[in-house]
Structure 1
């Protein structure tokens, strides 16, 4: 799993080093579909997020392909409003993972639960969120990528350049490539976590 791996854990733990360059700092979240950890790129000393697929779901038809599709699709989108994917990798155990831009903040679902719906209280703020989401989706659509799972949980709100409500779109796992020469990686009737 890593230079200091522990076989009793499905995912790398703090202190583990992956590919000789990503040192795991902290587990940010773990669930049935996978886990996300904060790591540091050892050479650049820059924080990154590593998103792992759960080994328990890897046997389901198309799941690994959809996970890898997220990395490929999002890496083709060059927008400040879409999370950056730097690399698609695999642990020695075969578990795939994405190396992503590390974001500090919260998703829009959490913000709404804490503060209420911005459109009901602060219309300019709601418009600010909406315009940023649309800018990110516009760039994705120009790259022939349709997100297909837009919801508040897939909109991350961070502080950037003095803006406390800067939006980053995340989770392109069930996105669809619109061009005919590319494979449609979603299947009719399939259910996703």
Structure 2
């Protein structure tokens, strides 16, 4: 991992992080690298505790370099074993009085509806809007369009990775053709 960082990659993808290598992962984030990694934890609080405890020992100031933590869970249901995103949590800062890390759960899984409704506010989306000089409402619309595209892929049972890959490429090259391919032109425009 250290050798990889010396090559100055734009982003780093790490499998499971269990120990001292986590420090390198957090250092990469602190210098502006995009990092995607997996850790084991039941919820955001457990994740933070594990990162700050032995053997990992990530200092609190490095924990603040995290933008988003996605908690997945394996669940049993009448449909069998399911994997669901429980929360999409944003690290928003540190409480001045308690020094605790402040978290915003932008999305939380609803077991009754089997959906992950948006809480209505995202600090990450707000930061992106400010950085890109865009309106938050426009970014929220873009997220909504992407969500509808994924929903349509699920509806059409697109599970082959090559087909999925081709549709993602089409998303960036020719959205109108993608919408037509997925029979969703009118849906997206609403």
TM-score bracket relative to the smaller structure: under 0.3
TM-score, structure 1 as length reference: 0.26
* Higher strand fraction (1 or 2): 1
Q: TM-score, normalised by structure 2?
A: 0.26
Which structure is higher in RCO with an 8 Å CA cutoff and minimum separation 6?
Answer: 1
